Amino acid sequence: DQQVKQNSPSLSVQEGRISILNCDYTNSMFDYFLWYKKYPAEGPTFLISISSIKDKNEDGRFTVFLNKSAKHLSLHIVPSQPGDSAVYFCAASASYKYIFGTGTRLKVLA
Amino acid sequence: NAGVMQNPRHLVRRRGQEARLRCSPMKGHSHVYWYRQLPEEGLKFMVYLQKENIIDESGMPKERFSAEFPKEGPSILRIQQVVRGDSAAYFCASSYDRGGNQPQHFGDGTRLSIL
């Protein structure tokens, strides 16, 4: 039972444009959501998070949106840069246990 | 480097041998988590430890796998009598506090290959 789903395995975006990565979840008990970026042969790097009491959190080029009624969150990267090319994982938590999606591979084209 | 340190980065074992994976958390962090990632999948929670205590091992197979986080030294994930299906990337994470809005920070993982 996949509680956190990233339905797009891959995404290609032109440099300078917006990248939108999506994530859906099923467990209404989740109250903390995170995005991680992962390069090959490295560990996930924390990017940005949002608690369930908010619907938006922004940090530089990265913005996370949370729609609790739809059980959906998204990560917006604008403007996208070639260095953003990586696999992005969303994660959700009701406590200390993170449930990860299967990742979306983002490729930013120069 | 004050990040989460894992070693070895790569570990090759033959079936039936033991694998020991080590993790030193970030400075000041006393909460350690182990996750496993199979190819083309997301990370799956295995175990959560605080100093000298296992808090939650619900994601860890009951047989052959064990974890510890002693008062001194790194956390250890131990896999006895390894089988081919144990081949995966094992990631350790640490946090300053449990739960709440404290992100877990990950090490670069140990890639375990079973021959």
Strands A86-93 and A104-109, bridge-based pairing: antiparallel
- Distance from B102 to chain A by nearest Cα, in Å? 9
Interface contact A102, partner B, CB < 8 A: yes
Inter-chain touch B103–A49, beta carbons under 8 Å: yes
**What is the distance in angstroms between the Cα of B46 and the nearest Cα belonging to chain A?**
9
Has residue A82 got a pLDDT over 60? Answer: yes
Nearest to B42 among A41, A43, A102 (CB): A102
User: Is A105's pLDDT higher than 70?
Assistant: yes
- Asked if B75 has any chain A CB less than 8 Å from its own CB, the reply is no
Q: Return the pLDDT at B98.
A: 78
CB contact under 8 A, B98 and A96: yes
Q: Of A27-36, A58-67, B35-44, B71-80, which range is least confident? A: B35-44
pLDDT of residue B43: 93
Pairwise CB contact (< 8 Å): B41 & A102: yes
Q: Does B24 touch chain A (CB under 8 A)?
A: no
Between the two ends of chain A, the Cα-to-Cα distance in Å is 38
Q: Please compute the mean of the pLDDT values over residues A32-59 and round it to a whole number.
A: 95
- How far apart CA B62 and CA A29 sit, in angstroms, is 27
Count of CB atoms within 10 A of residue B56's CB? 15
Judging contacts by C-beta atoms under 8 Å, the chain B residues touching residue A103 are 42
What beta strand segments (E) does chain A contain?
4-5, 10-14, 19-25, 32-38, 45-51, 56-59, 62-67, 72-77, 86-93, 98-100, 104-109
Report the candidate in A64, A83, A55 with the shortest Cα–Cα distance to residue A23: A64
Q: What is the pLDDT of residue B102?
A: 81
How far apart (Å, rounded) are the C-alpha atoms in residues B81 and B38? 19
Q: Which residues of B touch A89 (CB under 8 A)?
A: 42-43
Give the residue from chain A lying closest to B43, CA to CA.
A100
Residue B52 is predicted with a pLDDT of 86
* pLDDT for the residue numbered A29: 94
A36 touches chain B (CB under 8 A): yes
Q: What is the mean pLDDT of residues A91-100?
A: 92
Query: CA–CA separation, B85 vs B70, rounded Å?
Result: 28
- Beta carbons of A35 and A89 less than 8 angstroms apart: yes
- B36 forms bridges with which residues in the sheet? B44, B90
Q: Give residue B100's pLDDT.
A: 62
Instruction: Mutate one of B29, B97, B101 to test the A interface: name it (highest A CB count within 10 A).
Output: B101
* Residue A3 touches chain B, beta carbons under 8 Å: no
Please report which confidence band the pLDDT of residue B99 belongs to, taking 50, 70 and 90 as the band edges.
Answer: low
A62 close to B (CB below 8 A): no
- pLDDT interval class at A1 (50, 70, 90): low
